[in-house]
């Protein structure tokens, strides 16, 4: 009975097709993840948005709790304006400048060490110890909000005096004792250009550790993503057009961080001139080379450092710095609206 | 005994019947699948997004392609290439597009016009 031992071609074909159909129906039956969003306005002095695809609302609520609890904790530690001057955060370090070393939370120690590294990497362009200069501008902006008709930029003398007191060498770190000491009473730490990226990485590590796969976190323009959207398409990050209303472009961003710096946030107007908040420490004045610089990199702390620094540096210096970071790319918008993308920027 | 011909068994009939039903189901699915009216066209030159025009904004739009220009006309929620200074006229021959995913391609000028739906246009966040 040879016939029974030979597989008939029609049966082979049928078997293959049945397997294919079963595979397709299995895909169709997979539980679908829902998209959820949550926003808070009370953290890092900016808008924080969490978007995620999860199987249920309970699952998203668990994620939300995890994310915002960590953000609240880190915000309190890193906030130099409203932080607790008696606590174990940066506000206490500033309050004890020139007095004594302050025992800090390990996350504060890690951020201060990153700030030291950032100063070295950017050759002083990003200097967290130059907080006095930022403080002068911050006070000028606050005064301008109250009385816009009498808005004034900080005086040249005050800026020059503030610029004298900086250098991360004045920030003494004792890793073993977990303390930070500012050895000059006029040094004032401001981590505005570093804290959000650093925080985004920390929080994202927790999110991944907890097993969440499709998450996007936006810390006021500091975006970090885990995986893609649930349907496998890339997260889309819209870049605002710095010249007019609307979007400049949408960038696909999966498992990556996107951070932008622009001269259109935290501004004050004196007469017919507008001053923004990104200060070039070589002059003490807002940087005015670019309209917007956006950086994409796997590490949010690096993207955050790069975007601010590239916004201050000229193109050649910026490209040189960018080349030192693996997998980082930038999109510049010039003051005349010209767009320039470096190698690696998604096309 | 062996005539060299296959004899149909019950299992064969079952398999053929199952495949026939599956094919029918797929056909019905394709026919009933809703086509999605697009909301805008994205214009790519050399793979780079250069314009996004709403399908509600009637008018004639100029596209600077590689080595030549094309004119895209948008009217009544449809877009079609009405002019192109290239030798072949493939893009003009494509006709009107309006459903999400439809596209007009001009190879000589490396121009791609693609209809997108509101969903596809959506970005998850907008950086400040």
Using the Cβ of B16 and the Cβ atoms of chain A, whether some distance falls under 8 Å is answered with yes
pLDDT tens by residue, A14-44 = 666 666 666 555 544 445 788 898 888 888 8
pLDDT value, residue B89: 78
More confident residue, B45 or A188: A188
Chain A partners within 8 Å of B6 (Cβ): 8, 10
Length of chain A, please?
A: 347
pLDDT beyond 90 at A61: yes
pLDDT tens by residue, A206-220 = 999 999 999 999 998
Whether residue A216 contacts residue A238, with contact meaning beta carbons closer than 8 Å, is answered with no
| Average confidence (pLDDT) per 10 residues, chain B, 128 residues | 70 90 86 72 82 86 91 93 84 86 86 78 77
Using the Cβ of B30 and the Cβ atoms of chain A, whether some distance falls under 8 Å is answered with no
**Do the Cβ atoms of B15 and A18 come within 8 Å?**
yes
**Do the Cβ atoms of B16 and A14 come within 8 Å?**
yes
Chain A partners within 8 Å of B18 (Cβ): 18
pLDDT value, residue B35: 64
Using the Cβ of B124 and the Cβ atoms of chain A, whether some distance falls under 8 Å is answered with yes
Whether residue A198 contacts residue A304, with contact meaning beta carbons closer than 8 Å, is answered with yes
**Do the Cβ atoms of B124 and A220 come within 8 Å?**
no
Summary mean pLDDT of chain A? 89
**Do the Cβ atoms of A2 and B16 come within 8 Å?**
no
Name the residue among A67, A66, A75 with its Cα closest to residue A42: A75
Chain A partners within 8 Å of B11 (Cβ): 11
Using the Cβ of B18 and the Cβ atoms of chain A, whether some distance falls under 8 Å is answered with yes
**Do the Cβ atoms of B6 and A347 come within 8 Å?**
no
**Do the Cβ atoms of A18 and B48 come within 8 Å?**
no
- Looking from the CA of A190 toward its CB, the CA atoms found within 13 Å total 22
Taking the C-alpha atoms of residue A201 and residue A125, their distance in angstroms, rounded to an integer, is: 22
pLDDT tens by residue, A112-166 = 999 999 999 999 999 999 999 999 998 998 888 888 888 888 999 999 999 999 9
Looking at the complex, report in whole angstroms how far the Cα of residue B48 sits from the nearest Cα belonging to chain A: 6
Lowest-pLDDT range, A10-14, A80-84, A162-166, A200-204?
A10-14
Rounded to 5°, angle at Cα A269 from A263 and A272? 105
In B, minimum Cα distance to A218 occurs at B125
Using the Cβ of B29 and the Cβ atoms of chain A, whether some distance falls under 8 Å is answered with no
Q: b/e per residue, B67-85, with b = 16+ CB within 10 A?
A: ebebebebeeebbbbeebe
Looking at the complex, report in whole angstroms how far the Cα of residue B71 sits from the nearest Cα belonging to chain A: 22
**Do the Cβ atoms of A216 and B125 come within 8 Å?**
yes
Mark out the alpha helices in chain A (DSSP H runs).
2-5, 9-29, 57-78, 90-95, 106-121, 131-146, 156-164, 195-209, 300-312, 315-322
In A, minimum Cα distance to B124 occurs at A236
pLDDT beyond 60 at A2: no
Taking the C-alpha atoms of residue A103 and residue A135, their distance in angstroms, rounded to an integer, is: 24
**Do the Cβ atoms of B124 and A260 come within 8 Å?**
no
Chain A partners within 8 Å of B12 (Cβ): 10-11, 14
pLDDT value, residue A29: 46
Average pLDDT over residues A94-120: 97
């Amino acid at each position: 009975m040879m016939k029974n031992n030979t597989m008939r071609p029609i049966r082979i074909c049928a078997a293959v097709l049945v397997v294919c159909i079963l595979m397709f129906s299995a895909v169709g039956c997979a539980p679908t993840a829902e998209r959820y969003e949550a926003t808070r306005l009370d953290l890092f002095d900016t808008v924080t948005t969490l978007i995620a695809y999860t199987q249920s609302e309970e699952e998203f609520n668990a994620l939300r709790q995890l994310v915002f609890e960590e953000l609240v904790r880190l915000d309190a530690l890193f906030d130099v304006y409203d932080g607790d001057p008696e606590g174990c955060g940066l506000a206490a370090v500033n309050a004890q400048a020139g007095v004594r070393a302050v025992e800090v939370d390990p996350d504060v120690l890690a951020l201060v060490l990153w700030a030291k590294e950032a100063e070295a990497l950017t050759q002083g362009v990003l200097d967290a110890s130059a907080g006095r200069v930022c403080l002068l501008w911050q006070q000028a902006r606050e005064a301008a909000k109250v009385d816009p008709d009498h808005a004034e930029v900080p005086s040249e003398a005050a800026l020059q005096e503030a610029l004298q007191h900086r250098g991360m060498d004045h920030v003494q770190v004792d890793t073993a004792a977990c303390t930070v000491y500012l050895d000059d009473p006029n040094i004032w730490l401001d981590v505005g250009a570093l804290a959000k990226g650093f925080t985004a990485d920390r929080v994202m590590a927790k999110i991944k550790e907890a097993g969440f796969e499709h998450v996007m976190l936006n810390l006021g323009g500091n975006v970090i993503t885990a995986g893609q959207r649930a349907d496998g398409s890339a997260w889309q990050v819209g870049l605002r057009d710095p010249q007019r209303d609307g979007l400049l472009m949408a960038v696909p961003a999966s498992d990556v961080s996107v951070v932008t710096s622009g001269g259109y946030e935290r501004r004050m107007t004196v007469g017919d001139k507008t001053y923004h908040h990104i200060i070039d420490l070589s002059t003490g004045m807002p940087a005015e080379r670019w309209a917007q610089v956006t950086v994409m990199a796997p590490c949010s702390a690096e993207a955050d450092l790069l975007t601010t620094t590239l916004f201050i540096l000229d193109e050649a210096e910026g490209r040189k710095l960018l080349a030192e970071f693996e997998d980082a790319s930038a999109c510049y918008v010039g003051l005349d609206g010209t767009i320039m993308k470096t190698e690696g920027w998604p096309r | 005994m062996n005539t060299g011909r296959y004899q149909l068994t019950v299992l064969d009939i079952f398999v053929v019947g199952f495949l026939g039903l599956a094919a029918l189901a797929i056909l019905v699915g394709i026919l009933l699948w809703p086509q999605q009216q697009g909301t805008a066209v994205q214009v790519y030159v050399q793979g780079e997004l250069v314009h996004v025009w709403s399908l509600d904004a009637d008018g004639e739009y100029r596209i600077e392609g590689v080595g030549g220009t094309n004119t895209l006309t948008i009217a009544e929620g449809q877009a079609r290439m009405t002019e192109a200074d290239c030798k072949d006229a493939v893009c003009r021959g494509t006709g009107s597009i309006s459903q999400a995913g439809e596209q007009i391609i001009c190879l000589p000028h490396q121009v791609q016009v693609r209809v997108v739906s509101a969903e596809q246009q959506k970005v998850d966040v907008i950086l400040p």
